[in-house]
A and B are shown apart, each in its own frame.
Chain A
Amino acid sequence: MEIINHLLYGFSVSFEPINLLHCIVGVAVGTLVGVLPGLGPVGAISLLLPLTLKVSSPVSGLIMMAGVYYGAMYGGSTTSILVNIPGEAASVITCLDGYQMALKGRAGPALGIAAFSSFIAGTIAIIGLMLLAPPLASLALLFGPPEYATLMFLSLTILSYVTSGSMAKSFMMAALGLVIGTVGMDAVTGEYRFSYGVIALEDGFGLVPVAMGYFGLGEVFWNVEYWLTMSVFKKKIKGLFPNLEDWKRTALPILRGTVIGFFSGILPGAGTVTGAFISYVVEKKLSKYPEEFGKGEIKGVAAPESANNAACQAAFIPMLTLGIPSTAPMAIMLGALMIYGVDPGPFLITKHPDLFWGVVTSMYTGNLLLLILNLPLIPMWVRFLKIPYVFLFPMIVLFCMIGAYSINNSMMDILIMSIFGVVGYLMKKVGYEGVPLVLALVLGPLFENSTRLSLIMSRGSFLIFFTRPIAVAFLIIAFILIISPYVLRIRWSRKKS
């Protein structure tokens, strides 16, 4: 009964005209960035962040940013199916069968099943989020500084573990993020660190210029060098509704994809990409005709699309209940909440019920809106794909620059953003991912404060991290994750020899 009351309260918040408008704008922008290759949800949320700070309340702002995130998941499938280029990372796997279906004249059902499976998975995942988040938040009330410090360490470890590149490189990027996060005034002593008399650095590196530079400008630089050209699918798209046979074949893959995606979304670091890949592999293993995968099998579209949407909604659980972002867009949203003065963590549900329940229920509305946006408006999204990149990138750069400037009305922020853009572009060239850096930048101050508080509590003894059961559990998981690649490598080389 209590949950129904919460739900009704949430709907009363999310149906407020201003929040509804934010939701519509969020899902539309999300679909657009999902459709357009070259700017992912991280970049789009970073670009929108300064705008939301100007015009929105925390509830509206988060509703919009959440809309961008799950909207991008929907939109990404359109480009994968029609152009064979993933609109965002989680749609990579959809290219395999989606594009083949399009070549066989079944672009309509492929787009249709992608939208419907996303809708079903998204809706189920929201129910999971609604049911799981409050108990998890009450569990998190048992957390003290040592538990938080170890949880953040675990979070950074998991993220380094699952990023596509080398784990050592990801660790270096996370450590670099921690160092960058310490620039500015020390919260305990009030001393300025690494600011060298530059006034703009006394407040530290802002999340907005860093994220916009790294993911927005960095991506633009990359695309300008490796010029983005696309050949859009030219045949007329007809029959968006999958037939009965399609539904029969995809019902179970959608459910399995939802479950896999949901759990990969909760796990900090695993995120949407891992969920989509696992669900595809599972379906291929379970199929009687695995050889059909990669040749236009509809299950190969339904399963990963449901998984990436479920993961996307489930990713809100650790962020809203523990204050731990499990993916890069979540890290930016967490940063946004902090800028708004909202403290994410176990008290968020009790202190800001409007925010929690408003955002959760807005996802129902958003999912429905996306279904409406994705099916009848597909020709319009396809038209966006035909805009030459030479017209798009100046707008993205412009938006980045105005966004960075508008935070503090400071030229220095544009300069910082541009420098991080160059750094992001160069780092991408040498295979260093930016996600651990941004996550560490957000978590850095929290990690530092909880570690220092823990040490003050224990009078300098590190044993405090090894004597509390929850903290020990987190450290053990982190340790297993760190050594597992090496153990696996040793076992593999022994097997080989």
Chain B
Amino acid sequence: MRMRDRATLYCFTAFSIFMCLESWRLGLGTFSTPGPGFLPFGASAVIGLIAISLLVLGRKQRVVSTEPFFKREGIFNLLIVLCLIFGYVFLLYYIGFFLCTLLFVLCCIRFIERRKWGVVIGTSIVTAVVAWLLFDYWLMVQLPKGIWVGPFFEKIWGFLWK
């Protein structure tokens, strides 16, 4: 069993113990009147039992994985994307959907493949405008306008920015 598999099974075991205790706290009830903790307790116990069984069965099979868990060249790209996504979630409320989308697409294309600035800016503007027209204007999804920039855009774009 590889190190990563063991680590996953330890996580599952810990999760199972935690959920069993929490389900117990909720109340298991009786068999004739099962309580709210009845099913989560049973399901968590199944997770724990399988995880422990796999750990016990695999304790003698130590396999050293030659393949790295993360691909070196790819992990930086992935970290950039993750940061951009969490940045998007964080900034959406402040700078609104339009600017957030524009910056998100711009950073994705520029930082990951270093395309020319013209292509990067063009693609991000087109994407942001199309997405805004499609979701905000046509489908009327109430996307955040951004508390920092909303009033400013409202002045410039008038009736479109409602």
Residues of A within 8 A of B (CB): 51, 54-55, 168, 171-172, 175-176, 178-179, 182, 186, 188-189, 191, 193-194, 217, 220-221, 224-227, 388, 390-391, 393-395, 397-398, 401-402, 405-406, 409, 411, 414-415, 418, 421-422, 429-432, 444, 447-448, 451-452, 455-456, 459-462
Contacts and interface: CB of A to CB of B under 8 A. Distances in A.
Given A175-B46, A186-B36, A189-B35, A391 B123 contact: yes
A393 B139 contact: no
Given A51-B139, A179-B47, A224-B112, 15 more contacts: A176-B47, A221-B81, A225-B77, A225-B78, A394-B108, A394-B127, A401-B89, A406-B139, A418-B85, A429-B4, A430-B8, A432-B8, A447-B39, A448-B38, A459-B32
Interface of B: 4-5, 8, 12, 19, 22, 26, 30-40, 43-44, 46-47, 50-51, 53-54, 69-71, 73-75, 77-78, 81-82, 85-86, 88-89, 92-93, 101, 104-105, 108-109, 112-113, 115, 123, 127, 131, 135, 139-143
Contact of B40 (A194, A422, A459): A194
A221 B71 CA distance: 12
B32 A455 contact: yes
Q: Is the interface of B mostly helix, strand, loop or mixed?
A: helix
B43 A225 contact: no
B64 to A, nearest CB: 16
Nearest to A189: B36
Contact of B89 (A411, A430, A455, A456): A411
Contacts of B44: 175, 179
Nearest to B57: A168
Contacts, number: 148
B22 A194 contact: yes
Contacts of A461: 31
A480 to B, nearest CB: 19
Contacts of B26: 191, 193
Given A224-B112, A398-B104, A171 B46 contact: yes
A444 B39 CA distance: 9
| Leading 7 A-B pairs by shortest Cβ distance | A460-B32, A460-B31, A225-B74, A178-B43, A186-B36, A394-B108, A390-B113
Q: Is the interface of A mostly helix, strand, loop or mixed?
A: helix
A144 B11 CA distance: 38
Contacts of A414: 88-89, 92
A418 B31 contact: no
B32 A402 contact: no
A421 B89 CA distance: 14
Given A186-B36, A418-B86, A452-B38, A54 B139 contact: yes
B54 A168 contact: yes
B112 A191 contact: no
B109 A402 contact: no
B36 A398 contact: no
B8 A193 contact: no
